[in-house]
């Protein structure tokens, strides 16, 4: 009797130790190289640098918009050369490439972080934050619903737009965007609304919305505006292989 009691105790100890070792092994396997921490003054310098880059960026972008406008006006005023048709097709192309303000009916989507979360202090994987991947998924759904023009916080989304993040900062067209995210989609309101309410279209976003982690809403609106694209077009490597018709 005494022997079996002690062997039972040994067994319990063994099981506990075994489970503990198992957990330890897995933690060990999972742990990666610790990331370095910056001294706070270095962080301050970095923040200042980022701010100055962003100020430059705003200035450069407004210069680009002004220059494009000036070029258009100059071209329009020199129409008398018999190149009216050429100007016309140029203007049509500009519309398609995002160099004209898009106006029309559609859907306005609002996305925001959870009410209580602080983006500056939150962990990058916080469920209550809107992530770059959420915006990518949303844009993908809007595109598949045939939206004709899309803008997020006034940044026009083109087929070459990247939506990425660096830590908790979201970059759209390499431009810093902060929540709340106001997404304008010009197109068939019914089709777009249908896709947005489809539970399979944005599963991750809807799950977090239902658990009150994030804020998400949309409404059909008339006369929406998607501003003109104010970034660069890169055509350094791409070439036309046949002469255009």
Using alpha carbons only, give the angle 58, 135, 105 rounded to the nearest 5 degrees: 85
Phi-psi domain of 114 (left: phi exceeds 0; alpha: psi -120 through 50; beta: other) = beta
The end-to-end CA distance of the chain, in Å, is 97
Task: Tell me which residues in 186-205 interact with other proteins (CB under 8 A).
Answer: 200, 204-205
Among 115, 118, 217, 233, binds other proteins (CB under 8 A): 233
Binding span for other proteins by CB under 8 A among 109-117, 131-139, 182-190, 216-224: 131-139
Task: Tell me which residues in 85-104 interact with other proteins (CB under 8 A).
Answer: 86-87, 89-90, 93-94, 96-97
Using alpha carbons only, give the angle 218, 134, 216 rounded to the nearest 5 degrees: 25
Among 106, 113, 134, 186, binds other proteins (CB under 8 A): 134
Q: Six-digit token pair at 28?
A: 């060990």
Among 8, 115, 118, 140, binds other proteins (CB under 8 A): 140
Residue 1 or 238 having the CB closest to other proteins: 238
For residues 188 and 146, is the Cβ–Cβ distance under 8 A? yes
Among 106, 113, 131, 183, binds other proteins (CB under 8 A): 131
Query: Taking the complex as a whole, how short is the minimal distance between the CB of residue 169 and other proteins, in angstroms?
Result: 6
Report strand pairing: 169-172 vs 163-166. antiparallel
Task: Tell me which residues in 10-69 interact with other proteins (CB under 8 A).
Answer: 10-11, 14-27, 30, 35, 38, 43, 46-47, 49-50, 53-54, 56-57, 60-61, 63-64, 67-68
Binding span for other proteins by CB under 8 A among 104-112, 181-189, 220-228, 230-238: 230-238
Helices 40-77 and 84-97, packing angle to 10 deg: 150
Residue with tokens 């809007």: 142
Q: Sketch the per residue contact string, 100 through 129, with other proteins: x for CB under 8 A, - otherwise.
A: ------------------------xx-x--
Burial of residue 155 (number of CB atoms within 10 Å: 0-12, 13-18, 19+): buried
Residue 94 or 221 having the CB closest to other proteins: 94
Strand order in the sheet with 149-152: 155-157, 149-152, 181-186, 102-112, 215-226
Burial of residue 235 (number of CB atoms within 10 Å: 0-12, 13-18, 19+): exposed
Closest CA to 215 of 129, 120, 157, 149: 129
Query: Taking the complex as a whole, how short is the minimal distance between the CB of residue 136 and other proteins, in angstroms?
Result: 5
Residue 57 or 182 having the CB closest to other proteins: 57
Residue 198 or 219 having the CB closest to other proteins: 198
Among 101, 112, 122, 137, binds other proteins (CB under 8 A): 137
């Amino acid at each position: 009797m005494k022997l079996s009691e002690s062997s039972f105790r040994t067994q319990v100890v063994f099981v506990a130790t075994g489970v503990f070792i198992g957990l330890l092994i897995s933690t060990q396997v999972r742990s990666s190289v610790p990331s370095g921490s910056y001294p706070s003054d270095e962080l301050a310098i970095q923040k200042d640098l980022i701010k100055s880059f962003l100020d430059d960026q705003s200035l450069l972008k407004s210069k680009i918009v002004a220059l494009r406008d000036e070029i258009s006006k100059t071209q329009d005023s020199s129409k008398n050369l018999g190149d009216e048709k050429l100007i016309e097709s140029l203007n049509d192309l500009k519309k398609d490439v995002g160099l004209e303000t898009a106006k029309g009916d559609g859907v306005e989507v609002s996305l925001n972080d959870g009410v209580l979360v602080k983006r500056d202090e939150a962990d990058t994987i916080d469920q209550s934050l809107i992530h770059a991947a959420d915006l990518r998924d949303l844009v993908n759904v809007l595109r598949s619903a045939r939206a004709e023009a899309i803008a997020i916080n006034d940044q026009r989304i083109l087929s070459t737009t990247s939506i990425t993040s660096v830590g908790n900062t979201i970059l759209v067209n390499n431009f810093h965007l902060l929540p709340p995210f106001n997404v304008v989609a010009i197109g068939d309101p019914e089709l777009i609304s249908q896709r947005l309410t489809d539970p399979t279209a944005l599963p991750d976003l809807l799950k977090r919305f239902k658990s009150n982690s994030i804020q998400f809403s949309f409404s059909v609106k008339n006369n929406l505006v998607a501003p003109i694209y104010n970034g660069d077009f890169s055509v350094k490597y791409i070439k036309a292989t046949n002469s255009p018709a």
